[in-house]
A and B are shown apart, each in its own frame.
Chain A
Amino acid sequence: MKIKKDIAVSDSGFLFNPVTGESFSVNNIGAAIIGYLKQGLSPKEIPAALVKDFEVTETMAERDVQDFMNMLMHFQLMEP
């Protein structure tokens, strides 16, 4: 599962879906998760990357990534 390729994300965390016209603002952790997804990391690999780049425990990172992935799916921003 990966983020749809035409989704545009700015450095400030502004996310735009050109197919639906919807836009979202995400915080710096959300922007980082989207960045990892765009680099090709799988959702399972992302908590470790977050632990490396942010001051966060692995348990918390796993939970946050799961929540965030659910949200991305809910807003149809992911594709198989």
Chain B
Amino acid sequence: MKKRKLTIAVSGLNAIDSPGPGLAVARGLLESGKIEAKMIGLAYESMEPGIFMHDIFHKTYQIPYPSAGTDMLKKRLLEIHEKEKIDLIIPNFDAELFSYIKLERELLEKGIHTFVPESDSFEERQKWNLPEFGKKHRLKVPRSKELMVFSDFYPASVDFGFPLVVKGKYYDAIVAYNAEQAQSAFNRISAKWGLPIIVQEFIHGQEFNVTGLGDGNGNAISIVPMRKLYITDKGKAWSGISIGDENIIKLTKKFIKSTRWRGGFELELMKNEKGEFFILEINPRLPAWVYLAVGCGQNIPEALALMAMGEKVEPFKNYDVGKMFVRYSWDMIVNLEEFQKISTFGEL
């Protein structure tokens, strides 16, 4: 079969201790049997490891932070498009998705495809909207409260009891065992990620994760559940194993059908002692461990790319259970000239 040639740009090249998904997505695309991918990296900082991985990324460009606004991003993307003729962009950070959702039509007019969630489903699954989301879609979620000032914390703590989880609007979560710890977590996270802060009921149990792909019409194209086997001090999976829990698959299908989810996603789940699953978080993009799904027989990045390009993709029927991923770190030797180029010219 002749492979379809595509120039695909991805962000999330920060393969660090709290890794972005860019490298895993790129690996899936490069191993595709249907796509001949020319990978373009989109980096925010000049020391993201993916920038220097020339066997994966043909070229990398620096792009402005989401805080610079959608217009700045659009301008930069079109500059890159002039040089690279990008067919598709796969954004891999929660914080940048809003801009891509907003720019979807304009980018498409220039020939750049995306496959991102609909604006409504993106917004309703935000951490601070989770209780309403759970009610609307009849999905179990922990009780949570949005805080703009710390004084609002006390009624929530009476309601939820300790421990509870203090979460940033996009990233970071700290378990607090008393009010003092909660205040410290509130200050630390709000200084880094801004407000609101979300206080969430702590669900005791076993954590599971699931990644998948929805077609936007309520159909599940891919679902692969995983259990973390080794967790870093930042709570990130350093190794994990694919599992075959039918209840997780059923729950994920319900999520996709009810929200008519479009694009890749990750659900963070907690199974309590009664065997009930709670959705702790809905990440609106593929996770850093998505290469496990590729290794299990479901190349989600490939399916996402083909759907973005308008092709009909049949849902995956099965995957290997009991496949593991073990992450590792690797020191690259980088010439100063390369670092200088990306730092000075914003491209390498």
Which residues in A have some Cβ–Cβ distance to B below 8 Å?
A: 6, 8, 16, 18-23
Q: Which 3 A-B pairs have the closest CB atoms?
A: A21-B227, A21-B243, A21-B241
Interface centre among B208, B240, B321 (most CB of A within 10 A): B321
The answer to whether A19 and B322 have CB atoms under 8 Å apart is: no
CB-defined A-B contacts under 8 Å, sample of 21 = A6-B244, A8-B322, A16-B322, A18-B243, A18-B244, A18-B321, A19-B244, A19-B245, A19-B246, A20-B206, A20-B227, A20-B245, A21-B208, A21-B226, A21-B227, A21-B229, A21-B240, A21-B241, A21-B242, A21-B243, A22-B227
A20 to B275, CA, bound (A): 11
- Name which of A8, A16, A20, A21 has the most chain B CB atoms within 10 A of its CB: A21
For chain B, the count of residues having a C-beta within 8 Å of the partner chain is: 14
Q: Is the interface of B mostly helix, strand, loop or mixed?
A: strand
* A residues near B206, Cβ cutoff 8 Å: 20
In the complex, how many angstroms separate the beta carbon of A69 from the nearest chain B beta carbon? Answer: 21
Question: A20–B322 Cα gap in the complex (Å)?
Answer: 10
A19 to B170, CA, bound (A): 30
Contact residues in B for A19 (Cβ distance below 8 Å): 243-246
Contacting residues, chain A, for B243 (C-beta < 8 A): 18-21
Q: Mark B210-247, 1 if CB is under 8 A from A, else 0.
A: 00000000000000001101000000000011111110
Q: Which residues from chain A contact B242 at a C-beta distance below 8 Å?
A: 21
Residue of A nearest to B244 (CB): A18
| Cα–Cα distance between A8 and B245 once the two chains are bound (Å) | 15
Known: A19-B246, A21-B242. 15 other contacts (CB 8 A): A16-B322, A18-B243, A18-B244, A18-B321, A18-B322, A19-B243, A19-B244, A19-B245, A20-B227, A20-B243, A20-B245, A21-B227, A21-B241, A21-B243, A22-B227
CB distance from B284 to the nearest CB of A (A): 25
Shortest CB-to-CB span from B173 to chain A, Å, is: 22
Query: Nearest A residue to B248 by beta-carbon distance?
Result: A19
State in angstroms the CA–CA spacing of A16 and B322 once bound together: 8
Min CB distance B211 to A, Å, is 14
Q: How far is the CB of B178 from chain A (nearest CB, A)?
A: 31
Kindly state the separation between the CA atoms of A22 and B322 in the bound complex, as whole angstroms.
10
A16, A19, A22 interface centre (most CB from chain B within 10 Å)? A19
| Shortest Cβ distance from residue B285 to the other chain A in the assembled complex, whole angstroms | 23
Cα distance A8–B227 when bound, in Å? 17
How far is B227's CA from A6's CA once the two chains are assembled, in angstroms? 17
Q: Which residue of B lies closest to A21 (CB)?
A: B227
User: Please, which residues of chain A bring their CB within 8 A of the CB of B229?
Assistant: 21
